[in-house]
Copies of this chain bind each other. A is one copy, B any other.
Amino acid sequence: MWDQIFSSRMSRMTASEIRELLKLLDQPDIISFAGGIPDPKLFPVKTFQDAFAETLGPDTQDEALQYSASEGYPPLRDWIAGEMAKLGVACDRDNILITSGSQQALDYLGKLMLSPNDTALVSWPTYLGALGAFNAYEPHYDRLQPHSNRAAADYAEVASGKGGQVKFAYASVDFANPTGETIDRAGRESILDMADELNIAVIEDAAYQSLRYTGEAIPPMLALEIARKGHIDACRTIYCGSFSKTLSPGLRVGWVCAAKPVISRLVLMKQASDLHSPSINQIAIHKVAQACFGEHVEKLRKSYKTRLDHMLNALSQHMPEGVTWTNPEGGMFVWLTLPEHLDGAELLAESLRSQRVAFVPGRAFHADGSCGNTIRLNFSQQTEGTIDEGIRRLGQLLRG
């Protein structure tokens, strides 16, 4: 019955095998590097307790429990505009839309730009959730490679051959999920060049932007484009930020910062899709951000840096020849490339059986289904001792 009723796009929205597999990981004796989530022990709980109590106090209780504007809570949008300015992005409240996490921003941006058979440029590998969001709008994918010599015209030609046009390049710029890698300044500039040439948008996913542990910060692409063009409203880069990796993912508060013609369309979309993000959460997270953002992020950086260092050291110590990995300057992930004959999914099954260590196989992060010999390791959720032990076991498995 339902197959005749569902829309054509549903054929693109399928259950992830990984997700099904990871549901089996609840057993307490498993060391899991599979998640991609913050350590709950580091949540600023006391600050949230105070913020929610205050939000439900006399000054804002009505506003917190009532419907509110699709654009988002104005003081929070002002606060975010202030933070964006610190990153070189001069903007005001009207350049900011509050979304329910940056996942929602990705869904909206797919909806905003993709007609069926259009092309989205993404890196190989890329964030799985971006592919999930975009798939609903039935695009093709082509490979974004900031440092390649491939001509912009070639992208346009391939897209046209597939019955649409290139609509945007999606790039997770800092310590990307899944690789942990960062696009350097020259890479960012080259994406902007190509975007201008193709007249496409650039989606800058900055979910991990605050979590830099070493090295020097690189300006967001949106800042680089403002430097070229003089004003955010002349820019094609659409910046997606989030409080999920810094303060709390459970409140689902993220934002889009972009030119006003984009924000005004996204506001219509927000209104039609869920009216607005929860009023109470926006007021509360504004209070928490005001109370402790900088200081709390500093604390996270220290903790996660130690864990990253442990993981990189343990990898050096325990991995056999033929295994390579990225050297992230922040974020939550290290990405391993295994010898070509190995398959991450098969290795996971074996690892769960014999070593009780979990991770995410890398194939699903590739829009073309390539590179089965890769795996993603998360280091934000485990203590140093557990990281050492888990990587030791993984090395044992790989040395077979």
Contact = CB atoms under 8 A, between A and B. Distances in A.
Interface of A: 1-2, 4-10, 13-15, 19, 37-38, 40, 43, 45, 48-49, 52-53, 56, 61-68, 99-101, 103-104, 107, 111-115, 118, 129, 132-133, 135-137, 167-168, 199-201, 236, 244, 248-252, 259, 261-262, 264-265, 268-269, 271-281
Contacts of A248: 65-66
- Which of A9, A10, A261, A275 has the most chain B CB atoms inside 10 A of its CB? A275
Given A8-B115, A278-B252, A107 B49 contact: no
- Which of A52, A252, A274, A277 has the most chain B CB atoms inside 10 A of its CB? A274
- 7 smallest beta-carbon distances between A and B, as pairs: A250-B279, A40-B62, A132-B272, A65-B248, A65-B250, A104-B274, A107-B273
Nearest to A99: B274
Given A6-B265, A65-B45, A278 B275 contact: no
Given A56-B52, A104-B274, A250-B64, A113 B43 contact: no
Contacts of A249: 65-67
10 contacts: A2-B261, A2-B262, A7-B111, A8-B115, A15-B264, A40-B66, A53-B53, A104-B274, A107-B272, A129-B272
Contact of A118 (B7, B250, B259): B7
A273 B133 contact: yes
Contacts of A250: 63-68, 278-280
A274 B52 contact: no
A117 to B, nearest CB: 11
Contact of A136 (B65, B272, B277, B279): B272
Contacts of A103: 272-275
A114 B112 CA distance: 17
Given A252-B276, A265-B13, A45 B67 contact: no
A56 B64 CA distance: 17
A259 to B, nearest CB: 8
A380 B279 CA distance: 20
